[in-house]
Structure formats: structure tokens, C-alpha cells
Amino acid sequence: MSDKQVIQKKTTIRYFILAMLFIVTTFNYVDRATLSIAASAMRKELGFDAVTMGMAFSAFGWSYTAMQIPGGWVLDKYGARVVYGSGLFLWSLFTVLQGTVGFFAGSAFAMLFGLRFLMGIAEAPAFPANARITAMWFPTHERGFASAIFNSAQYFALAVFTPLMAWTLHAFGWHYIFYWTGAAGIVISIFWFKVIRDPKSHSGVNQAEMDYIEAGGGLASLGDKKTPIKWNYVRALVQNRQMIGVYLGQFCLNTITWFFLTWFPTYLVEAKGMSMLKVGLVASIPAIAGFAGGVLGGYWSDWLLRRGKSLTVARKTPIIIGLVFSSSIILANYVDSTVLVVAVMSLAFFSKGIGALGWCVVGDTSPKEMMGVSGGIFNMVGNLASIVTPLAIGYILKVTQSFNGALVFVGIMGLLGAMSYLFIVGDIHRVELKIDKDEP
């Protein structure tokens, strides 16, 4: 038996799992972005002003942010397969129902706000689950790339589906954007339950792949272990200087993300005078750049690790450089041509993609016993930006009647995020909890 194990070629099921994470995360972001594409048409039909639209954009963020810690707790208790799959089905259903709000003119805003709020609850465990699954399935030296792949799904979603949603809006009306994207997610949720398993219980994984994952620092046995979560563990985590810096960095990074997910199409229409069909094509270009930056950032980080650099250098170098250059978005205030606007936005989104390794850092630093809760805290703080960004930009527009201040706000956040990693995070290492099993 030992001779067989020596010569046994390891399976590559982990890459199939990663592909599934990429697909699900793509639709996670497609469903978030539906409202940004439909916004201009909805404002005209339903009479929403900029502040009302900003409130509708932020509805998702309120619940998504508030449910991060509870979502992480549920994830640690019941596992990623059940929690993530159920969430996928529910948020897709809520997306479909958003297409019906126009039929209830008197209560359209309340219904839209409520459905976006419910969608945020359903999506809350998604990214902590991504981090948990990649920590289980991938060794440390492959985790940067794996995290970059699922994280880059957000750019892929915008690049591929923004033109499709814009065409749907033009051909069929805004209602069908919600109908079709939501229906696709429901179908994918059925497939999820058929194919996703923990490494130890997946029939396609052989011992050679299991040994490879575990020898490289992967937490393949994590799915079998349940640790009672106590608030003093949570308190120790949120008081850790390294984690505080990571949390702040993610808030700043997500500010850039949520500008593109909410106000960017409206910016192109209202500030740059583009038609919605043109926006569908133009808005996809920065997203393609973001996708390229995301993949490059993960590959760069793992390459540095393989070259013998410390985990700290390998993770922080792409993050800091990416966040600094993402502030180039401010330059869009000083150009008028479509080509230059697209070039500036593409540079900013490419740079943001390079720096989007926060989830990889969470996989490297979270206590083994609290992967879900730790990811939930990280995502809760980071996604405060999903509330602050659309509301802040809505008020900036109302007061100034210009997007210039909004772009300055977004650009400054990139610089603040870089400083957080540079001066607060320190050395990157896994946090170890002192767990007393006899503690009541």
C-alpha cells in the first residue's frame, strides 16, 4: 500500500471546487449589480431622486454588513455546503422578485428596499464561505492564486454581464434584468448541492491530493471540526492589531468596489453623457482590467512566496502597490474624452484588483477554530463601505451636482487602505486563540 501511495498521482479536484466558487461568486456580484444597470430607467419610471436611489443602493449593505458575524457563526456551525447553497437559492429568488416592484407604484421603494435588504442577509455568508473553502482545499503557496480567482469573479461579472444586462434593458425593459439573472442563480444553486463537499468526504479526492493539501498548510480536516464560539474569542480577534489593520484596509478597498457596483453606470450617463447601450460596453472595459489585475495580484503574491520571500512581503507588496495606484481614479476629473475616462477607470480598477488579496490574508491569519466568524468580522467591517459609499456619493451629488467630489472621496480611500497595511498590519501570521475546553 505504501508503494502505491508513493507513486500515486494526485487528483486535482480542488481546481473543480475553485471553478464552482468562481461561478457562484460571479452571480453573487451580477445580482448585486442588477440595480446599478436598472437604476437610470427605474429613476425615470418610478420618480426616484439621487438620495432615494442612494438609499436603495445601500439597503443591501445594511443587512449584508449586520449579518456578517451571525453568518460566519452559522457557517462554522453547519458548514459551507449547506449555508452557501441555501443562501445562493434565496438571494437569487429575491433578485427575481425585484423585477416586480414596478407593478406596485405606491410602494415600489419600500418593496425594492426590503428585497435588497433580504438579499443582503442571504448573501452574508458567501465570502466567508469562499475563504473557508479555499483554506480547506488549497495549500498556503496556492492560496493567493485561489483567492484571487474567486475574488476576480466580481470583475468578470461586470465585464461579461454589464453589456448583457444593458442589452436586456434596451430590448426588454429593466424588469427582465432581475428575472433572468435571478433565475440563473436558482439553477446554479441546485447544481451546487450536487457537487460541493468537504475534502475528507469528497469521493473524487485521492490520498495523494489530501496529503499535498495538508502538507502545504491546507486545513483539509476543518469541515470535521466544530469549536464552540465564545464572545471572548471574538473580542480577542477584534482587538488584535494585525486584524484591525486588515479590516480597515478592506473597508477602503471596498469603497472602490462599491463605487463601480452602484454609481459608475450613472456617472457615465450623467457626467459623461453616454447612452445606456454605450455604457454597457464602456463599463465592461475597467471590469476586464480589474479581472486581469486580480489574477495578476494573486499570482504575484504566490510567486514571491515561492521565491523565498516571507508571507508578509508576499501578501503586503501587491496590496499596498495596488491600493496606492487605485487612487488614480481622481484623474478622471481632469479628462473629458471617452477614451481617457475609460483608461483612467481601467487603471484604477486594475490596481484595485492587484490589491484585492484581503480574503487571502484572512485565510492566512484567521484562527483555525473561527474561520467563518473571522471572515464574517472582516467582511462586516469591509462592507460598511457598501452602506457608506452609495449614501456618501448620493449626498455629494445632491449638494455639489457633480461627481468630482465623489471621485476624490473614492481615491483618498485607496491611499488610506495602503497606509493601513503599511503602518498597522505588521507581520502577517495566523492568530492563535487560547481555548480552554473546560471553560463554561
Distances (CA, A) of 11 to 37, 49, 118, 205, 209: 41, 55, 39, 6, 6
Backbone Cα Rg of the chain: 21
Distance CA(190)–CA(181), nearest Å, equals 15
Q: Inform me whether the pLDDT recorded for 49 exceeds 70.
A: yes
Q: What is the pLDDT of residue 97?
A: 93
Q: What is the pLDDT of residue 438?
A: 47
CA angle 105, 106, 112 (to 5 degrees): 70
Grid cell digits, residue 390: 452609495
Q: What is the pLDDT of residues 25-43, one digit of tens each?
A: 999 989 888 888 887 788 7
DSSP 437: T
- Shortest CA distance to 196 belongs to which of 418, 13, 334? 13
Grid cell digits, residue 54: 442612494
pTM, two decimal places:
0.71
Distances (CA, A) of 266 to 45, 59, 102, 243, 247: 15, 18, 20, 35, 29
Do 230-430 and 12-226 have the same topology in CATH? yes
Q: What is the pLDDT of residue 224?
A: 46
427 C-beta neighbours (distance < 10 Å), count = 10
Grid cell digits, residue 351: 490596481
Could you tell me if 60 and 116 are in contact, meaning their C-beta atoms sit under 8 angstroms apart? yes
**pLDDT grade for 222, boundaries at 50, 70 and 90:** low
Q: What is the pLDDT of residues 50-67, one digit of tens each?
A: 777 778 888 888 888 888
Q: What is the pLDDT of residues 268-323, one digit of tens each?
A: 888 887 777 787 778 788 888 988 898 898 889 989 988 889 989 999 999 999 99
Distance CA(232)–CA(240), nearest Å, equals 12
Structural domain spans, the chain: 12-226, 230-430
Give DSSP secondary structure letters for 102-121. Answer: GG-GGGHHHHHHHHHHHHHH
Q: Say how many CA atoms lie within 13 Å of 329 toward its Cβ.
A: 33
Q: What is the pLDDT of residue 391?
A: 83
**With left for phi above 0 and alpha for psi between -120 and 50, is residue 378 left, alpha or beta?**
alpha
pLDDT average, residue stretch 204-231: 64
pLDDT average, residue stretch 198-203: 69
Q: How many residues does the chain have?
A: 440
**With left for phi above 0 and alpha for psi between -120 and 50, is residue 430 left, alpha or beta?**
beta
201 C-beta neighbours (distance < 10 Å), count = 10
* 12-226 CATH pick, 3.40.50.970, 3.20.20.150, 1.10.3470.10, 1.20.1250.20: 1.20.1250.20
Q: What is the pLDDT of residue 273?
A: 79
**pLDDT grade for 4, boundaries at 50, 70 and 90:** very low
Distances (CA, A) of 425 to 256, 302, 319, 326, 367: 20, 19, 12, 20, 16
Does CATH place domain 230-430 in 3.40.50.10860?
no
Long-range contacts, 198-204 (Cβ 8 Å, 24+)? 198/79, 198/80, 198/81, 198/136, 198/222, 198/223, 198/224, 199/13, 199/14, 199/136, 199/137, 199/223, 200/224, 202/13, 204/11, 204/13, 204/16
DSSP 425: I
Q: What is the pLDDT of residue 320?
A: 95
190 C-beta neighbours (distance < 10 Å), count = 11
The contacts of residue 401 (CB under 8 Å, 6+ apart) are none
Q: What is the pLDDT of residue 272?
A: 82
